[in-house]
A and B are shown apart, each in its own frame.
Chain A
Amino acid sequence: MLEITCNDRLGKKVRVKCNEDDTIGDLKKLIAAQTGTRADKIVLKKWYTIFKDHVTLGDYEIHDGQNLELYYQ
C-alpha cells in the first residue's frame, strides 16, 4: 500500500491510498471519489509526463508519499 498526494494548485489536495499494482485509471477513480470530479476529466502529471490510464503505478515507479500534479481536461 502506498499513499500518494495529488495537488492541483487551485485548492484541491488529496492523499490517496492505493496499491502498487493499481493502474493510473484506478487511481483516477479513487481521486474522483475523494474530490468529486469525474474520473475521465482528470489528468495526472509529473513534470511534463502525462500518466496513461492503463499503466500501473509500479511501472511508473510511483512510490509512497510522492506528489502528482492534478489537472483537468
Chain B
Amino acid sequence: MGSSKKHKDKDRESKKKRKHRSRSRSPRDKEKKKRHRERSRSRSPVREEPILVEEYERSRNEESRRSRQEPIPASLPAEANSNLSGEAQVSGDGSSLSIAETNRLRAQLGLKPLDVPETGDGEDSKPKKSEGVHAPAINMGEKKKADKLREKLSTRKEKRNMEKNLLEVKGLGDSDSGDEGAAAWVRKSRKIEKEKELAEKRAKMLEEMDEDFGIGGLVEEEFKREKDQKQAYRSQDLSGLRVEHAMDKFEEGRGVILTLKDKGILDEEQDDVLVNVNIEDDERAEKNIENKKKKPDYKPYDEPQYDEYGMMKPTSMLSKYDEEIEGARKESFMLGSGGSYDAAHEKRMAEIRQQLRAQGQTLQVAAPTIAAEYMTKEEMEAAASFKKVKKKVRKIRKKEVLKADDLLPLPEESAEDNFGSRARGRGRAEPIEEGELPADEGQEDQKPVVDGAATSLDQPVKQEPEDDDMLGPDEDLSNVVIEEDEAQNELQGMLAKARKLKLKKERNRAPEMIEQVSATIKPKSETDAAGNIVLNSTSEFCRNLGEIPTYGLSGNREEERDEIMDMELELMEQRQRQEEQEEITGGWNEVDIDENPVDIKGEETSVLEEEPIAGAGVGAALALAQKKGFIEDEGPKKAPGLSSKYLELQAQNYTIQDKRYDDLDEKNRKRDRYQGGMVTDFKEKDTYKPEVKLDYVDESGRSLSQKEAFRQLSHRFHGKGSGKKKTEKRGKKVEEELLMKRMSSTDTPLNTLSLLQDKQRTEKSPFIVLSGSRGFTSNTISKPS
C-alpha cells in the first residue's frame, strides 16, 4: 500500500516537471513547431483536391513574388494592408488569402468577386490581365461611387439648364421687343399703315377682276341658297338621332326643347345625342336621392327582377358595381323616320306585362299577427253559434246515458215532486222559461230532499258521517229532510214575495202565478212536518259541542264556564220548544242528541289523571295503549267523505306490496305499456272523488312522514344516501321518539310525580318541603330502587 502511494507521488512530480518544461519552452520553439504543422497540413490537401491546391499554391507564389516586386500602395486601407503584410509575413501559415486570390477562388467556385472599397486594386490586377490568367476584378464599391457621382452631375446639369431657361423667359414688366425708343415705335406704326394700304389696294383690284368676270353675282347666289337650305332643317333631318331620355319623361301635348349633348372635341365616333337640360337635371336629382337612401348592399332575399315579358331576369354577380365599372346606363330611344317616335309598341308591351302579372300567383304568406287578447264581435258570434251546436250534442249524449233515476221511477213521482235536483243537474245553463218563476226555483233549491233514490252517488254526502254515528246501517233514511233555519226560510220567503210583487206589476199573469206558487209552497211545508226528521244547524252545532273532548281539560276556563252553561240551557229550552211543536204535528222522532249538557265541572277533580289500569280487560288495555300513544286515535281524524258506504270503493286487492317504493318505476312502466289510461270519461263515476293517500314505510315498517319519505326517494334517485353520522343521528332521534311514546304520559320520566303523591299520602299533608331542615331530614325524596 505504502509503496503504491509513493509511486503515485513520484508520478505527480514527474508530471509537474513536464508541465514546467512545456511552459518554459521558448517562442522560437513554438514557431518551429508551427512551421512543422503547416507543412504537414499543406501536404494533406494535395490528396483531396489536387488541382485546386495546385492553383492555390501557384497563386500564392505569384502573390509573394508580386508583393516582393511592388511596394504596397499607400492608398490601401490599413486593414487590407495588414492583411497583405500578414500574408507576406505568415505565408507559411496560409490562414488568409489576398483579395485577388480570393477573387480567383470565387470565380472558380462560381461566386461573384469581392466588392473591395479601395481603388488601388485595379492596378494590382492589371498585370494578371495581361497574362490572361485573371480578369480584373471589377471594383463594385468604386463602380457604385462613380454611378452616384455621375447621377449627381447629371442632376446638377439639368438644374442649370432649367435655371437658364427661366432666365430667358420675360416677365410681365419686361418689354417684348427692342422697340424701346420712340423712333422705333414710329417706324413700326408706319410699316403697319403701309401694309394696310397695300391690302386695300389688292382687295380693290380683286373686286374689279370679279366684276370683270361676273363672279360676284354667282357667289351671292350661292350664299343665298345655302341660307335657304339652313332654314329648311326639318324634323325629317332628325331621323336616326338618339334621344337619351326615357319615353315616360315626355308628356303628350307638351313641347320639349332638345339640344345636342356635349361631347369631347376629339371623339368623333360618338353620334349626336339629343338631350334636354331640365330633364337631365331631374335625372341627376333622382339619382342623388337614390344614393342618399343608403340601400343595403347585400340583399340575400331580394325580390327577383322581371324583364318586359314578365320573365325572371338573371341577376348578375355583384350587380351593384355595374354602374361603376361600365358607367351609368341611360335609357334612350331612336327617332324614327320623319323624326318621330311611335310609343304604341311600348304601350302594347306594358299591356302584355300586365297580363302576365295578372296570371302569376304570389307565394307570399300573410304576415303573422299577434293574437288579440279580446274576441272581436264576429268571433263572439261565431263562438256563440258553435256553443249552441255543442249543447245540442251534449243533450243527445245525456239521453243516451242510463241513470239510476231513469230506471227506478218513484211511485209518488210527479211534476211537483221533482225537487229540482235533477233539473238542476241537467240544465242549469238553460234560460229560465217564461212560465217558470225564478222564485220558484230558489225555493226548491233550499230544500234538498234525501229521498228513496239517495243511494245514488249524486246525493249530498255532507251529512253522511254524522248520520253514521247515530243511525244503524239498516235504518231507512228515505224520509229525512234537511231543513235550513226557520229564519232563513222566512227570509227567503219574503224575498220571493217581494220579487213576486215586482213581477205582478209587470205582468198580467202574475196573480195566477202567485196562487200557483203558494200552492206549491204550502204542501211542502206540510209534508215536512208530516213524515221527516228535521236536522237544523243549531241542533247540529249543539250536538257537536258536547263532543269537544279537550274543552276545559286544561282547567283555565272557569270564567267562561258559566256563560257556556247559560248558552247550553238556552239551547235546551229552544230544543224543548221545538220538540213540543214537533210532537203536535206528527209522529216522527228526532235524532238522538244527548239531553244533558256536557258535564264540564266533573273534570275539575284531578289535574293529573290516573294512569288507566290494563288489567280490567281488552278494552281497558286498548284504552291504555291509546293513551300512551301506541295506537293512534283515529276517530276525529277520520275523513268526512269516507263512510261505510264507500268502503266498497276502496281497493279490493290492496296489499302491502303496493306500498313498496323500490319498484314503483317498474310498475308504472308496465302500466304504461299495456293500457294507455282512460280514453273516454266515466259518466257514472262523475262524482266519485277517491281519497288518495300515499304511505311510505321504511325497512323496519315505520311509517314515514312526508319529509322522510322524500328524503328516501331522493336518496334512491341519486343512488347516494346520507353519511354515517347523519344516519346515526336520525336513528337516535327515532329511538328517542319511541321512548317518549312509551313513557307514561302523566308523569315525568323519573316518576317524580307519583313519588310526590306517595309522600303526600304518607305524610297526610297537602304540601312537601323540599329544602332539608332538621325535622324533615328523614323524609327526603329518594328514588325507589
Contact = CB atoms under 8 A, between A and B. Distances in A.
B95 A13 contact: yes
A64 B80 CA distance: 12
Nearest to B106: A30
B48 A36 contact: yes
B588 to A, nearest CB: 123
Contacts of B86: 15
A22 B109 CA distance: 12
Contacts of A14: 94-96
Interface string B83-105: 10010000000111101001001
B52 interface: yes
Interface stretch (B112-120, B551-559, B574-582): B112-120
B49 interface: yes
Contacts of B37: 11
Nearest to B38: A11
Contact of A1 (B44, B45, B49, B114): B114
A15 B96 contact: yes
B83 A3 contact: yes
B96 A30 contact: no
Task: Classify chain B: how many residues form its interface, as a range.
Answer: 20 to 34
B692 interface: no
Contacts of A17: 83, 96-97, 99, 102, 114
A36 B49 contact: yes
B41 interface: yes
> Which 7 residue pairs across A and B have the least CB separation, nearest first?
A36-B45, A15-B96, A17-B102, A1-B114, A14-B95, A29-B109, A15-B95
Given A3-B96, A36-B45, A38-B48, A19 B115 contact: yes
A33 B96 contact: no
B97 A34 contact: yes
A1 B117 contact: yes
Contacts of B44: 36
A18 interface: yes
Contacts of A11: 37, 41
B111 A1 contact: no
A30 B102 contact: yes
A16 B95 CA distance: 8
Contacts of B52: 33
A30 B94 contact: no
Interface string A28-44: 01100111101000000
Contacts of A35: 41, 45
Interface string B460-472: 0000000000000
Contact of A18 (B41, B45, B114): B114
17 contacts: A1-B99, A3-B79, A3-B83, A12-B41, A16-B102, A17-B96, A17-B97, A17-B114, A18-B102, A29-B111, A30-B102, A30-B105, A30-B106, A34-B94, A35-B45, A36-B49, A38-B48
Contacts of B99: 1, 17
A25 B255 CA distance: 87
Interface in B58-93: 79, 83, 86
A53 interface: no
Contacts of A22: 111
Contact of B105 (A19, A33, A36): A33
Nearest to B118: A1
A59 B37 CA distance: 35
Contacts of B56: 33-34
Contacts of B697: none
A18 B48 CA distance: 23
B517 interface: no
A1 B86 CA distance: 17
A30 B56 CA distance: 12
Nearest to B55: A33
A56 to B, nearest CB: 12
Given A19-B115, A36-B53, 14 more contacts: A1-B99, A3-B83, A15-B95, A16-B96, A16-B102, A17-B99, A17-B114, A18-B102, A19-B112, A29-B109, A30-B106, A30-B109, A33-B105, A38-B48
B115 A1 contact: yes
Nearest to A34: B97
A38 B52 CA distance: 12
Which of A14, A34, A36 has the most chain B CB atoms inside 10 A of its CB? A36
Contacts of B45: 35-36
Contacts of B48: 36, 38
Contacts of B116: 1
B283 to A, nearest CB: 62
Given A11-B37, A33-B105, A36-B53, A26 B111 contact: yes
Nearest to A36: B45
B97 to A, nearest CB: 6
A26 B41 contact: no
Contacts of A3: 79, 83, 96
A19 B48 CA distance: 26
B723 to A, nearest CB: 60
Which of A15, A33, A38 has the most chain B CB atoms inside 10 A of its CB? A33
Interface in B294-334: none
B114 A19 contact: yes
Nearest to A64: B79
Interface string B113-135: 01111000000000000000000
A35 B48 CA distance: 11
A19 B79 CA distance: 15
Nearest to B105: A33
A33 B37 CA distance: 18
B228 to A, nearest CB: 85
Interface string B404-430: 000000000000000000000000000
A34 B56 CA distance: 8
Nearest to A2: B114
A69 B456 CA distance: 117
A16 B83 CA distance: 11
Nearest to A26: B111
A1 B96 CA distance: 14
Contacts of A13: 95
